[in-house]
Amino acid sequence: MLQKGSKQPTKVGAFFAWNGGWGLNAFWLASTFAFARCYLQSILTLKTMSAVNIIPKETIPSLRFPHQAVPLSAEEHRDIMEKLAWATRLGNAEHGKCRIHFKDDEGVKAVETTIWAFDNDHIVLKYGMTIPVGRVLAIEVP
Which residues 6+ apart lie within 8 Å of 58 measured at CB?
none
**How confident is the model at residue 127, as a pLDDT?**
87
Is the model more confident about 89 or about 43? 89
Digit-coded pLDDT (tens) for 64-74: 999 999 999 99
Least Cα distance to 109 among 142, 72, 65, 73 occurs for: 65
- Give the pLDDT confidence of 11-21 residue by residue, as tens digits: 555 555 555 55
Give the β-pairing of 53-55 and 108-113.
parallel
Q: Give the pTM.
A: 0.64
Virtual torsion, Cα 72, 78, 80, 83, nearest 10 deg = -170
Note the pLDDT tens digit of each residue in 60-104.
Answer: 999 999 999 999 999 999 999 999 999 999 988 988 899 999 999
pLDDT of residue 55 exceeding 60, the answer is yes
CATH code of the region 52-140: 2.30.30
Share of the chain above pLDDT 90, in %: 55
Average pLDDT over residues 104-130: 93
